[in-house]
Structure 1
Amino acid sequence: MIKINIYSLIFICSLFVSQLAKAQVYEKGNVIVDAYYGGPNLYTGVVKTFYKADQALGNFADLKYKSVGPVGLKFEYLVGAKIGLGIHANYALTAVEGQSVDGSKTYSYEASYSRLRIMPTLNIHMGNSKRFDPYFSFGVGYANRKFKETTDNPNIPEISIKNASPLALRAEFGMRYFFTDHIGLNFLVGVGGGPLAGGGLSFKF
């Protein structure tokens, strides 16, 4: 009787383990593509504060602001059901245009600050659900940050400055939910090279 119970327990455990394996959202060789839009664009807030103060002093007029992103794209290849290697690229832009005021004269004025980051990533997946995928991602790669200022005001020199360090770092926690076998939604929070939070679509192949 005891042997029968032991065999039954082993059989039930093996069924449970096999169901967990079947329930995993990924298997080795899967490719995941994420597209997302994130925020906030912190530099836009800083730029607006700076230029509004300068505009109040009468140095600028008719200023308009443009803010893009961060917008990102991620590719991941599953080397195992729980481990993936990938590439994470994201871009953000902050820009302002209007008039530079110099005495009684006004001149055209434009300034922009762009950020592009491309990082190889290591991704660790933690879930056992067929649809839900929580994960951690760590990336180290290349950053291109550029500030550019142009004007026809002869008293303001044009400026183009690139970042002193091309290093980009990022740590991220994310979640994906696949409502079909190949299409889902993603949500992420992170620190470093990219948005504080973002969300978008995921595709599994």
Structure 2
Amino acid sequence: MAGTAGLVFVDGHEDAVPLDVSEDGEAANTEVGLLLGLTGRLLTGPLARRRGVLDPAALAVLGTRDRDWRARFAVGSLRDAGVWLRDVDEVAAVPRVAGRDAAEHVAGAAPRWWLHVDLDVLDPVVFPAQGLPGVPDDPGGLRWDGLTDLLGTLEVPGCAGWSVAVHDPEQDPDGTCGRDVVRLAGHLAAALG
């Protein structure tokens, strides 16, 4: 049974690949699927009790660009399952509108919500410290200004907190990407308190 919390999920991937078709089996490819209860039916233990805790109406997904990757596994889009979703092209066209609409959608369905930003939503040209070393990242993605604009419009009541993930220091030898992440965290802290 779904809980009462919502999620604004900014990511280059929908992260709802079923566990049984994931190429590496890591939960990072399927956490949204687990939260929605779309996968993990055979899990046991503590994680099994945490699947299906998010109402699809309380989820907004922004910035995805993984259509080709999902097609390799014959995995449809969360949008087809009724989830509010705007892909990278839709977000890049109007980042402020997309961010505001996402937060308003989630706040309308849940009294409290969380913001999660996975930095692989960024174009690997501007943020190469993402993904796996030696494995080509999906092309395209948001630029820093687009992500900043998107996140600057999330001042909608009910945000309980936020998280930022995916920075690989081994792919950031001079620390440039790390400094960009710190600047983004400062921007988020100022915008969301």
Under a length normalisation based on structure 2, what TM-score does the superposition of the two structures give?
Answer: 0.23
Bigger RCO (CA 8 Å, 6+ sep): 2
Larger radius of gyration: 1
Q: Which has the higher strand share?
A: 1
